[in-house]
Amino acid sequence: MRLGIDLDGVVADFNAGWIRHYNQQFGSEIALDAVDHWDAIPSLTHFENMSGFWKWARDLDGHSLFRHLEPYPGAIETLTALARAHHRIVILTTKPGFAVSDTFSWIGDHKIPTREVHILEEKWRVDCDVYLEDAQYNLESLVEHRPQAFVCRFVRPWNSPVAGAHDIYDWLEFQALISGGLTSNPVPG
């Protein structure tokens, strides 16, 4: 199967990454689990808006923030096992232009088993059998535009259930779902 996998918030721990760097640079003590809604960053930092945050995230030690992220536990191992089981790992990620080269480097550094990477806003435009995503707007769009696909919501504090999407709580659950053959698609509505 073609598995459309998001990076930030799914494979790469974006929030822990920016929080760690922010705390070090500004002497803050933001908790790693402080993000409980989408675009929470301005309410947790001194940045007035996301534009200020993205300006800061462009250059941290010569690379963008996206080069400094750690993978979630089990993410790389699960993707590797799924690729070995002959599933095609298709990376679907949204990034600012300044982060594109660091994203490809990050994928290489962590040996993500993929031959296909799409950096785009409308992830539904890439045909996959299964999608694993955490962003609310992408989940809704995938369910709407890809009703034949099996859409999985990686449950995070910043998203909520989406009719037609299957909730996934960890990488082992996702691996078991894929290995089990996906016997049914969630019922929309």
pLDDT at 61: 86
pLDDT (tens digit per residue) in 121-180 = 999 999 999 999 999 999 999 999 999 999 999 999 999 999 999 999 999 999 999 998
Q: Which two tokens stand for residue 42?
A: 């301005």
Residue 15, pLDDT > 70, answer: yes
Q: Exposed (0-12), middle (13-18) or buried (19+): which is 143, by Cβ within 10 Å?
A: buried
- DSSP class per residue in 143-183: HHH-TTSEEEEE--TT----TTEEEE-SHHHHHHHHHTT--
Average pLDDT, the chain: 95
Q: Which two tokens stand for residue 55?
A: 């300006």
Give percent of the chain above pLDDT 70: 96
Please answer whether residues 30 and 44 qualify as being in contact, where contact means their C-beta atoms are separated by less than 8 angstroms.
Answer: yes
Q: How many secondary structure helices (H) and strands (E) does the chain include?
A: 7, 6
Contacts of 50 (CB under 8 A, 6+ apart): 39, 41, 42
pLDDT at 183: 52
Q: Nearest-CA neighbor of 57 among 30, 96, 10, 105? A: 96
Amino acid at 17: G
Topology annotation, domain 2-13+69-179: Rossmann fold (3.40.50)
Could you tell me the pTM of the whole model?
0.93
